[in-house]
Amino acid sequence: MSGGEIDEMVIRAKLGKSKLIVVKVGASSLSDENGKIDFEKINSICVEISNLRRRGIDVVLVSSGAIKAGKAIISDSLKNNEISSLQAFAAVGQVLLMESYRDLMAAKGYKVAQILLTWDDFRSKTRLKNLVNTIQTLLSLGVLPIINENDTIAVEEIKFGDNDTLSALVATHLNSDLLVILSDIAGLYSGDPSLPSSKLISFVPEVTQEVEDLASSKHKGFGGMKTKLKAAKMVNSFGIPMVIANGGEFGILERIINGERVGTLIGSRVKNEK
Kindly state the helix (H) or strand (E) to which residue 22 belongs, with its residue range.
strand 20-25
Find out whether 24 is annotated in a ligand binding site: yes
Cα angle 81-83-86, degrees, rounded to a multiple of 5: 75
> Has 184 been labeled as part of a binding site?
yes
Is the separation of the CB atoms in 254 and 263 below 8 Å?
no
Q: What span, in angstroms and rounded, lies between the C-alpha atoms of 165 and 1? A: 34
Backbone angles phi, psi at 59, to 5 degrees: -130, 135
Q: ∠ at Cα 22 (216, 229), nearest 5°?
A: 20
Q: In angstroms, rounded to a whole number, what is the distance separating the alpha carbons of residues 206 and 188?
A: 13
> Is 183 marked within a binding site?
yes
| Cβ burial, residue 210 (10 Å; 0-12/13-18/19+) | exposed
Distance CA 209, CA 197 (A): 22
Helices assigned H by DSSP within 141-175: 155-160, 164-173
Query: Binding-site residues, please?
Result: 24, 64, 151, 163, 183-184
Query: Binding-site residues for ATP, please?
Result: 24, 183-184
Query: Binding-site residues for substrate, please?
Result: 64, 151, 163
